A and B are shown apart, each in its own frame.
Chain A
Amino acid sequence: NAGVTQTPKFQVLKTGQSMTLQCAQDMNHEYMSWYRQDPGMGLRLIHYSVGAGITDQGEVPNGYNVSRSTTEDFPLRLLSAAPSQTSVYFCASSPRRAGGNTIYFGEGSWLTVV
């Protein structure tokens, strides 16, 4: 049981490049979400999903795309990276039935855009 796996852990991008942050969970959780963490800002919700084929925007969705074609995977795409997207990204998943008692976070992905 690997929990929530994020890849890559570290990435350096040039402005304008595209990339995908991968998030996978092996717990059959319905709910998944992406957050970014910036100094002094806490974690802010980017996008979330309540099940395969269903996604919605969070607080800071601009510049990011998501899709949820399977229950296991919830990739976060940066189509044209900007320095403002330099941040630490966390993916999370939780089972619907647990009532939110346990929200599992990945270890984070450190992204630098130069």
Chain B
Amino acid sequence: AQKVTQAQTEISVVEKEDVTLDCVYETRDTTYYLFWYKQPPSGELVFLIRRNSFDEQNEISGRYSWNFQKSTSSFNFTITASQVVDSAVYFCALSEQNSGYALNFGKGTSLLVTP
């Protein structure tokens, strides 16, 4: 069985604050993939990042960074200097190797960034 937990249901920050979205996962597979998606108010799903289970390197992309720690089964997402345009629902998801990349999503974290 696999499971993704996003404990933070809603987060509200003021623009320029840093914010971290937590993601904890469970899987028995040794090979798996972790994803983050953004869903803005318009409703489409925007791919942000994929991380393989065998690659624990942290990644930075502009104001976004991800911290993958297998020891704690966590894949946290940090937005630095948040902007109003970052307001969206963010989903963490897990896929196992032999599942056709079918995704198991967390329930999402709604981020509101106010001016």
Binding site for B on A (CB under 8 A): 30-33, 35, 40-45, 48-50, 56, 58-59, 88, 90, 92, 94, 99-103, 105, 107-108
Contact = CB atoms under 8 A, between A and B. Distances in A.
Nearest to A94: B101
23 contacts: A30-B100, A31-B101, A32-B100, A40-B9, A41-B107, A42-B105, A43-B91, A43-B93, A45-B102, A45-B103, A48-B99, A50-B100, A56-B100, A58-B102, A59-B104, A94-B100, A100-B33, A103-B35, A103-B47, A103-B101, A105-B44, A107-B43, A108-B43
Interface residues of B, number: 23
Nearest to B102: A48
Task: Tell me what chain A mostly uses at the interface: helix, strand, loop, or mixed.
Answer: strand
A32 B107 CA distance: 21
A49 B100 CA distance: 7
A100 B101 contact: yes
Task: Tell me what chain B mostly uses at the interface: helix, strand, loop, or mixed.
Answer: loop
Interface of B: 6, 9, 33, 35, 43-45, 47, 50, 52, 91, 93, 95, 99-108
Contacts of B103: 33, 35, 43, 45, 92, 103
